[in-house]
Structure 1
Amino acid sequence: MSTSTSPTPTSAIYKTEAGAREMQQRYREMLHAWPVPAEEVRIPTREGETFVLISGPKDAPPVLLLHGSGANTTMWQDDIATWSRHFRTYALDLIGEPGFSASSRPPLSSDAHALWLDEVLDHLGLTRTAIVAASLGGWVALDYATRRPDRVTRLALLCPGGLGRQKVAWLFKAVLLRAWGRRGVRRSVATVAGLEAPEARHLLDHVMLTFTHFKPRTERLPRFSDSALQRLTMPTLVTVGGRDAMFDSADTARRIRRCVPHATVNVLPEAGHALLNQTDSLLTFLRAD
């Protein structure tokens, strides 16, 4: 298979090689706790190897799962037991993120991510699929759906990037809190990720460990034009948190309602960027006639 980019060294996305090894070992341990039977697939692509975790009946309708920044397939661990009863789920590790896929980070301003997903879906034998995606994964899903609307049957997005204004005020708050040491760092991470509730404490611990070692993307996500969004002809669900510290949720909701009038938009007033307990609402959308 031809390649358009050379492999990116692991050091490009991790602060140290030791940190990379620790993160990959932790990920492997978490995969052992995947709640349903799963098949691991590694797909060669133009951006390097791509890791996919597949669950559910082979003859069930397909759903592609795209996680957010600083995450991997384990983002869906609380959802998969429910969804895989009805669908063949394909949880993908995004390239350039702390999973088992390649460290490659092609320009977001290009069609590289769409070409990459073309190869992944072709390898999996999926001509069309539903997509569930969050944050950065939501941006990747939107980029793909606006370029390849005929390949996406349904689109469900959680706090997606590329729609509402990307906020920067949280950066200044995070810098101030970091002056208070580990407690300040924990508070800043909880605020940005929207993991301040007691039931999210275990997720906060994991995010803290990740960003101790991982170097996230820092560039602004390109915003989709109105004309691009108007190409979203498939059933679409967008769910946002009213207290999202990273994206302007009101702006996101306004643009979707204007450009994709058939879409369903849910604004959760008290939720932040990380949206918890969406398993059943997403399942209802995915199973709708």
Structure 2
Amino acid sequence: MPLVLLPGRASASPVWADNLPSLLTIGDVYTVDLLGEPGMSIQDRPITGDDDQAAWLHQVLEALPEEAFHLVGLSIGGWTAANLALHQPGRIETLTLIDPVYVFDDMPWRTIARSLPASLSWLPKSWRDSFNSYTAGGAPVEDVPVAHMIEAGMKHYSLKLPQPVRICEDRLATLDMPVLAILAGRSVMHDAQTAARTAERALPVGTVHTYKDASHAISGEYPERIAKDIAAFTAAHRATTPEN
């Protein structure tokens, strides 16, 4: 079964550039730009809530030739993947959530406060670079192509999406497919220890890995390790299916 990759906020498929070589050793890969975000997906009607977010992604999976997929979401893409699993899980074989936001913990107020100036397109580029560096553990971003893409999306694209709703533990407990949570120990999007405890407590069929030294830019920092963990996770799941 192929992997379907969902990127984070204000980014698109190129955010997976460092991951694709290792992920393609697992199997075929689809990348999907989130609807309502910068990228190649074109929104033609309003998205008003969680149901709409699940509906468009379900339609994408229905349009693909395979019957089921390993769904992988990064950051807000992780929330989008989990939201689909809660509303229309039929085509999801496994779910991998890479440092997802609003899934296992709330976003800290400090991060929310720092994100507000970065969302104002008329402020200098340095403000957006500063926020992107903050999410990447303080790493410089001025000469990083993916960071340039994200900054351009923040400046030139106007989001018209509802605020994601934090997924509560009772709802996480209804997920009956295997879930792999890969968390960044230095993430500014949640408290990693709190998120790990929530995932371990709430997920009925969950595997939780915390990369101690990773920032929220975890996908670019640890591409081979992520691929290795996804490969082991999906292989273990295949080993437990009745037809195998």
Bin for the TM-score computed over the shorter chain:
0.7 to 0.9
TM-score normalised according to structure 1 size? 0.68
How many residue pairs get aligned? The number is: 226
- Is 1:235 the counterpart of 2:146? The answer is no
Report the TM-score, using the length of structure 2 for normalisation: 0.79
Partner of 2:2: 62
Q: Secondary structure at the match of 2:96?
A: strand
Query: Are positions 1:215 and 2:158 aligned together?
Result: yes
* In the alignment, structure 1 residue 262 sits paired with structure 2 residue 202: no
Corresponding residue number in structure 2 for 1:58? none
Q: Identify the residue that residue 280 of structure 1 maps to in structure 2.
A: 228
Assess, with a 3 A threshold, how the Cα gap between structure 1 residues 127 and 199 changes in structure 2: closer, same or farther. same
Structure 1 position 235, deviation (Å): 1.8
Is contact 2:174-2:204 (8 Å) kept?
no
In structure 2, the partner of 1:40 is: none
2:58 corresponding residue in structure 1:
118
The one-letter code of the counterpart of 2:188 is A
Q: Return the match for 1:133 from 58, 61, 73.
A: 73
Indicate the SS of the match to 2:113.
helix
1:94 lines up with 2:34 in the alignment: yes
Distance 1:245 1:217, change over 3 A: farther
1:169 maps to what in 2?
110
Q: Which has the higher contact order (CA 8 A, sep 6+)?
A: 2
SS for the counterpart of 2:30 is strand
Q: Identical aligned pairs, as a percentage?
A: 25
AA aligned opposite 2:149: H
Aligned partners of 1:152 and 1:212: how far apart in 2? 34
Partner of 2:108: helix, strand, or coil? coil
CA distance in 2 between counterparts of 1:65 and 1:181 reads: 31
* Range with bigger deviation, 246-255 or 72-81: 246-255
Contact 2:129 2:142 (C-alpha < 8 Å) held by counterparts: no
Coordinate RMSD, CA, aligned:
2.8
Q: Hey, what's the Cα distance between the residues in 1 that align with 2:140 and 2:117? A: 23
Taking the aligned partners of 2:64 and 2:129, their CA distance within structure 1 comes to: 39
Structure 2 equivalent of residue 16 of structure 1: none
Structure 1 unaligned blocks of 5 or more: 1-60
